[in-house]
Structure 1
């Protein structure tokens, strides 16, 4: 009898451990975001449009901004910038167009997550318009051009002459399916 009780106790503890690990997995992304914001690490950019004051353009120096795009595992879209890089003066407002194409036979929802390197430059890179602020819904075979408009602040430290804006595109279709009713979207086309 005591072996049956100890087995039940072990199974219940293991089940509780599994549930706890599953819950912790869901909490990792918000915890990561809070830590990056608190410590200013990993080159995470702000999730909202730049609301600072416009600084004068520093025409005495140039900064090279490189653009990198990758797809997370399981994301089948074609995704990338119109150009790999551009040269600009700090304080200038510039724009880059990214193109996304859904080659699948079903509607999909994607979310782009940006980062800037070197990480100390992230505080000086301000997006005023970005496709990364919202999820992107593409129908089967649909192609879309998505702009990112940005300013590299003139207060950028002088030793930083090159920045990289990188986007990773994630498939969030399953997570967003209930709120977007993707099944009805597919039948309406």
Structure 2
């Protein structure tokens, strides 16, 4: 019986030693993984990979080198309503340089006591300017739903392509805002 007890005690001792080794290995693995974060950041900073913030915060913001400051284009804005609302641009004209990003707002007011679905269609004058008038964001890209008596400000973000022919000095952007689906919709 002493041999069996001796073997059992030796086995327990070996198990404890193995458990200690496994705990030490687990702690070292956790510590190594935790230490990798600053090491990874330093490696990325040195190599320039995946580094999002510059060291020098006084770095000048980049400017758009595509802006043609030697030219000024007058952009006139117009709004036509075909339906139960008031629709107009918030400014009548703007002076812009080709390549310069510009935003203008249009305002629409639903004058009915019901929901109205509407869409805006743009037109340009002179017609040749349409290919050079680049809209980045526009309410005309999607259908608009206006609640009863709702007023809404809608942006148009655009730039004029610097390749616009030199003889074009004025562009008119006109939107026609019309109802989709007719008057059979009920107020909700």
TM bucket normalised to smaller: 0.5 to 0.7
CA-CA distance at 1:109 after TM superposition: 0.7
Query: What's the RMSD between the two structures over aligned residues?
Result: 1.7
Q: CA deviation at 1:71?
A: 1.3
- Cα deviation for residue 55 of structure 1 reads 6.7
Once the two structures are superposed, what CA deviation does each residue of 1:61-82 show, in whole Å capped at 9, x if it has no partner?
100000011112xx02111111
Q: Matched residues in 2 for 1:153 and 1:136: separation?
A: 28
Which of the numbers 161, 165, 169 marks the counterpart of 1:153?
161
Which residue of 1 is the match for residue 35 of structure 2?
none
8 A contact 1:55–1:154 mirrored in 2: no
TM-score by length of 1: 0.63
Partner of residue 127, structure 1: 135
Structure 1 residues 168 and 78: CA distance shift in structure 2, 3 A: same
1:167 aligns with 2:152: no
Residue 67 of structure 2 corresponds to which residue in structure 1?
A: 57
The alignment partner of 2:164 has SS state of coil
Q: Secondary structure at the match of 1:174?
A: coil
- Count of residue pairs brought into register by the alignment: 125
**Partners of 1:115 and 1:174 in 2: CA distance:** 23
State the Cα distance separating 1:103 from its structure 2 match. 1.0
CA deviation map 1:69-99 (0-9, x unaligned): 1112xx0211111100100100001011001
CA distance in 1, matches of 2:73, 2:131: 15
1:67 equivalent to 2:62? Answer no
Largest Rg, 1 or 2: 2
Unaligned runs of 5+ in 1: 1-53
Matched, 1:103 2:77: no
Task: Spell out, residue by residue over 1:104-161, the C-alpha distance to the aligned partner (whole angstroms, 9 max, x if none).
Answer: 0110011100011101111100100000011110111111100000010111110000
Contact 1:129 1:150 (C-alpha < 8 Å) held by counterparts: yes
Query: Hey, what's the Cα distance between the residues in 2 that align with 1:103 and 1:155?
Result: 41
